[in-house]
A and B are shown apart, each in its own frame.
Chain A
Amino acid sequence: MSLTPVIGIVRKDLRMFWSDRRAVIMAFAMPISIASFFGFIFQGRSADDEVAKIPILVVDQDGSRISKAILDGVGADKNLDVRSLPLEQARDSVRRGNDTVAVVIPPGFGDAASRAFFRGTGKPQLDFLYDPSRAMELAMVRGVMTQHVMEAVSKDMFSGQGSQAVIDDTLKQLDSPSSTAMPEDERRSLRDMLTSIQRFNTLNRTSSGGGGLSMPFDMHEEAVMARQNAAYNGFAHSFAGMGLQFMLFAAINMGIDILTERQKGIWKRLRSVPLSKFTLLGSKIASGSIISSLVLLVSFAFSIIVWHVRIDGSKVGFVGVAVASALMAASYGLLIAALGKTPNAARGVSVLATLLMVMLGGAWVPTFVFPAWLQKLTVVVPTRWAVDGFDAMSWRGLGFGSAVMPILVLLGFALAFSALAVWRFRWEE
């Protein structure tokens, strides 16, 4: 078989692609700008970056020494931006979305917390009024509040002015007849411990004045990536996702072009030539793959030059995932041509299908934010494999072995799409 017709079809398709300025801008400028935006948003922070603080409100209805200590603690926390407001204003601010969480310290909280510290009964309640659209931040605020409340209460118990009264009161209750619910052994142990704390506090007041519970460890964080101490580059993921999305958009255009060729009668002329169906459709897949690869190549080249994205994993694996993705995209375009009735009708449906596929594939936001069942379900979407493959070969820095499965699955999808397209393609008018 002569390759001249194949080269002719590919050359013509490339000329057509470059002749449409709008399509070219769409194919190159759009993924770069959108991926840059997403990359900026999802960019991991380096040690020098300022942390985006969570805005919270604290409503101190207690006004005790302990509640003030809690306020001091959370006010100094690097993760929180703390303001104090009355209850109704705080509730209103959260409802309007100005603040994420309002923590309400009710009257008598400090006193009740001190008493509950040793006995475990009569625990007071901290109220969290939160914005339901930012529930993830609530969990973080709860953790931070737990730390500061524990520190404030324990410090007060071990060194504070109120500790003597609470311990005296607790000791009295232990000796009262109403305390029979507690077994004698436990009562004796608690009495010994409280007496020891009384002695410790007496010594402590005459010396340094420190004390209380504190976090018994420091934390060290390390992002596990290809290179040690390398900062995570969020642009690697966003450019993979957007590159893929616009590869598929280029494939849609290819499918629409075939439908337009049919509408204009050009397909009749193509079919009057002694060429096999395989040559005609294979050439279309070849030109679609080249255009899709160009889209990805330009996007990634930009991300490498401007945003310093690195292919830290296997370069061969990266090329493999790119080629398999391009073949998958081109065969998807062919499928659109096979299933579509008219160019306009096909465009609407295929754009919707593509956006769904891209979204579920984790091209917009990483799949780990999806519910567990959806994460499992998205393995049936080819874009998921492509995005995972690109992530593995770029910022994760994995070897060729990690690219094999994505490549095979993408080639499988390409084969399935092509087979379906050939089966459903309307050869005769």
Chain B
Amino acid sequence: MLEAVDLRKSFGTLVAVDDVSLRLENGETLGLLGPNGAGKTTTVSILCGLTTPDRGTVSIDGQPLSGDTSPGKRKIGLVPQDLALYEELSARDNLQFFGALYGLAGAELEAAMASVLELVGLTDRAKDRVKVFSGGMKRRLNLAAGLLHNPDILLLDEPTVGVDPQSRNAIFDNLEQLRSRGKALLYTTHYMEEAQRLADRIVIIDHGKVIASDTVAGLTRGGGTLESVFLSLTGRSLRD
């Protein structure tokens, strides 16, 4: 279980995250929604230990997450917004590298690689260089790299950006499968239909603050779609 309490992070005069608190249970999918620049990525960075908050705490199974070598980091799998892969290497070499970072080696690493490649449907392309992959395949491999060490919590920062509907659907299937295995998923996205399909609960943040937190049914209780609720909460002005 992941819990964040009163997180605050500012960059100069810009307050990117302002008293954000959230809780993620095992087997739950939490959708983190917000317009561009709302503070979603900074929040994810704090949750996985990339960014140190000015204030507030993050704990995993009751243990605070602090420092580079915090054991809690092993329970987290990060799927960053960028395609964090080495294009010149094969899918297999990429996974071998990311697995080694978590201390996986030998048969354990082989089994983990086989498992995640099968999950994302890239077993047949394991030896191909990533640079010849389609955008969707790269996204799936990006997801696989975050799953290698079998984390309990998966932080997914807009994992379907720029992929075709088929690949997006495949990623949804993967995530639903993971949830059914008891993994906790935190999912940031701009796409309301993704949040509606996947998330058990939705947290909407804007200007660094949590402005709504409820189930999809709870948020749309007053009528309208999730998108109309989102727009009524965050406004219609452009966020570039």
B50 touches A2 (CB 8 A): no
A276-B69, A428-B51 given; A265·B81 CB < 8 A: yes
Question: With A4-B105, A8-B101 in contact, do A274 and B74 touch (Cβ < 8 Å)?
Answer: yes
Neighbour of A274 across the interface among B45, B70, B98, CB < 8 A: B70
Residues on B with C-beta less than 8 A from A8 are: 96-97, 99-101
Q: Indicate if B103 sits at the interface (CB-CB under 8 A).
A: yes
Which of A12, A268, A275 interacts with B86 by CB under 8 Å? Answer: A12
Contact with A along B44-56 (1 / 0, CB 8 A): 0100111110000
Residue of B nearest to A428 (CB): B51
Please tell me if A180 contacts chain B, counting CB pairs below 8 Å: no
Q: A279: shortest Cβ distance to chain B, in Å?
A: 8
User: For residue B82, which residues in chain A have a CB less than 8 angstroms away from its CB?
Assistant: 264-266, 268
With both beta carbons as reference points, the residue of chain B lying nearest to A2 in the complex is identified as B103
CB of A5 within 8 A of chain B? yes
A16 contacts B100, C-beta separation under 8 Å:
no
Interface contact B68-A275, CB-CB below 8 Å? yes
Considering residues A7, A269, A275, which has the most beta carbons from chain B within 10 angstroms of its beta carbon?
A269
A412 to B121, CA, bound (A): 51
Within 8 A of B (CB), among A245-296: 264-266, 268-277
Measured between beta carbons, the chain A residues less than 8 angstroms from B99 are 8
- A282 to B112 alpha-carbon distance, docked (Å): 27
Quick one: which of A1-44 are within 8 Å of B by CB?
A: 2, 4-5, 7-9, 11-12, 15-16, 19-20
Task: Let me know if A11 and B101 touch, CB within 8 A.
Answer: no
Known contacts A11-B97, A12-B86, A265-B81; A271/B50 CB under 8 A: yes
Residue in chain A with minimal CB distance to B47 = A272
B211 at the interface (CB under 8 A from A): no
Residue ID in chain B nearest A267 by CB atoms:
B84
Once bound together, how far apart are the Cα atoms of A5 and B101, in whole Å? 4
Q: How far is the CB of A277 from chain B (nearest CB, A)?
A: 6
Produce 1/0 per residue, B151-190, CB < 8 A to A: 0000000000000000000000000000000000000000
Q: Does B145 contact A (CB under 8 A)?
A: yes
Q: Are B49 and A272 in contact (CB under 8 A)?
A: yes
CB-contacts of B115-157 with A (<8 A): 145-146
In the complex, the chain A residue whose C-beta lies closest to that of B48 is A272
Asked if A4 and B73 sit within 8 Å, CB to CB, the answer is no
In this assembly, does B88 line the interface, its C-beta being within 8 Å of a C-beta of chain A? yes
The answer to whether A429 has its CB under 8 Å from any CB of chain B is yes
Compute how far the CA of A283 lies from the CA of B200 in the bound complex, rounded to whole angstroms.
41
Distance (whole angstroms) from the CB of B201 to the closest CB of chain A: 23
B192 sits at the interface (CB 8 A): no
The binding surface of chain B is classed by DSSP as: loop
**Size bracket of the A interface:** 20 to 34
The closest CB in chain B to the CB of A257 belongs to B86
Chain A residue contacts of B226, Cβ below 8 A:
none
From the candidates B49, B88, B145, name the one contacting A16 in the complex (CB within 8 A).
Answer: B88
Binary per-residue interface labels of chain A (394-429) against chain B in the complex, 1 for a CB within 8 Å, 0 otherwise:
000000000000000000000000000000000011
A199 to chain B, nearest CB (A): 93
Chain A residues closer than 8 Å to B101, beta-carbon distance = 5, 8-9, 270, 273, 275
**Bound: A177/B50 CA distance, A:** 105
With A274-B71, A275-B68, A276-B69 known to touch, is A11 a contact of B51 (CB < 8 Å)?
A: no
Whole-angstrom distance between the Cβ of A7 and the nearest chain B Cβ: 7
Contact indicator B70/A5 (Cβ below 8 Å): no
A272 touching B89 by the CB < 8 A rule? no
* Alpha-carbon gap, A401 to B95, bound state (A): 47
Complex Cα gap A263–B9 (Å): 22
| Nearest CB of chain B from residue A211's CB, rounded to whole Å | 81
Q: Given that A5-B101, A16-B89 are contacting pairs, would A269 and B71 also be in contact in the complex, using a CB cutoff of 8 Å?
A: no
Could you say which of B73, B84, B104 contacts A266, with CB atoms under 8 Å apart?
Answer: B84
Asked whether B212 is an interface residue with its Cβ less than 8 Å from the other chain, the reply is no
Q: Does B219 contact A (CB under 8 A)?
A: no
**Which residues does chain A contribute within 8 Å of B70, judged by CB atoms?**
274
Closest chain B CB from A157 CB (angstroms): 81
Which residues of B lie under 8 Å from residue A429 when comparing CB positions? Answer: 45, 50-51
Asked if B100 contacts A5 (CB within 8 A), the reply is yes
- Interface presence of B76 (CB below 8 A): yes
**A265-B83 in contact (CB<8A):** yes
Residue of B nearest to A265 (CB): B82
Kindly list chain A residues whose C-beta atoms are within 8 Å of the C-beta of B45.
268, 428-429
B231 CB, min distance to chain A CBs, angstroms: 29
Q: Shortest Cβ distance from B132 into chain A, in angstroms? A: 13
Closest chain-A Cβ to B161's Cβ sits at a distance in Å of: 12
Asked whether, in the complex, the Cβ of A265 is within 8 Å of the Cβ of B103, the reply is no
A221 to B91 alpha-carbon distance, docked (Å): 64
Q: B229 interface residue, CB < 8 Å from A?
A: no
Query: Residue of B at shortest CB range from A12?
Result: B97
CB proximity of A221 to chain B, nearest CB, Å: 55
| Cβ distance B236 to chain A, nearest Cβ, rounded Å | 30
B78 at the interface (CB under 8 A from A): yes
Complex: chain B residue closest to A269, CB-CB = B84
Chain B, residue nearest A7 (CB): B100
Contacting residues, chain A, for B93 (C-beta < 8 A): 12, 15
Residues of A within 8 A of B104 (CB): 4
29 contacts between A and B (CB under 8 A): A2-B103, A5-B100, A5-B102, A9-B100, A11-B96, A11-B97, A11-B100, A15-B89, A19-B89, A264-B84, A266-B82, A266-B85, A266-B86, A268-B50, A268-B80, A269-B98, A271-B50, A271-B68, A272-B49, A273-B101, A274-B68, A274-B70, A274-B73, A274-B74, A275-B69, A277-B68, A428-B51, A429-B45, A429-B51
Instruction: Identify the A interface with B (CB < 8 A).
Output: 2, 4-5, 7-9, 11-12, 15-16, 19-20, 264-266, 268-277, 428-429
Q: What are the 5 tightest A-B residue pairs by CB atom distance, in nearest-first order?
A: A8-B100, A265-B82, A274-B73, A272-B78, A12-B97
